[in-house]
Amino acid sequence: MTTRRTPPPVLYTPQVGELVRDLKHGLNGIYMGPGYGKHPTVHLRPERGGCEWETPASEIQPLTTEPALQPARTPARVTGEPR
């Protein structure tokens, strides 16, 4: 009997120096490179400098810099203005 295996998830691989979101720790950090553990990990450091930390590679995602979409505003009708 054969067992069906799901393929491993594709990990996001940022560029060195790219700002990413660490979902495990709830922090933003600058990607410094891959880690050296048994499981795939990455090294991040704070945006303004400081001590690096290691987090699972599966727990990082790109940080979007695009502003969130805002609802369209319609101009308010001024009373007493002729149509």
Q: What is the mean pLDDT of residues 64-78?
A: 59
The token pair that represents 22 in the structure block: 């660490």
How is 4-63 classified by DSSP, letter by letter?
--PPPPPPP-PPTT-EEEETTTTEEEEEEEE--SSS-EEEEE-TT----EEEEGGGEEEP
Tens of pLDDT along 21-46?
A: 999 999 999 999 998 867 889 999 99
Report the pLDDT value the prediction gives residue 69, as an integer from 0 to 100. 56
Measured CA to CA, the distance from residue 63 to residue 72 in angstroms comes to 25
Q: What is the mean pLDDT of residues 67-71?
A: 57
Backbone φ, ψ for residue 58 (5° rounding):
-75, -10
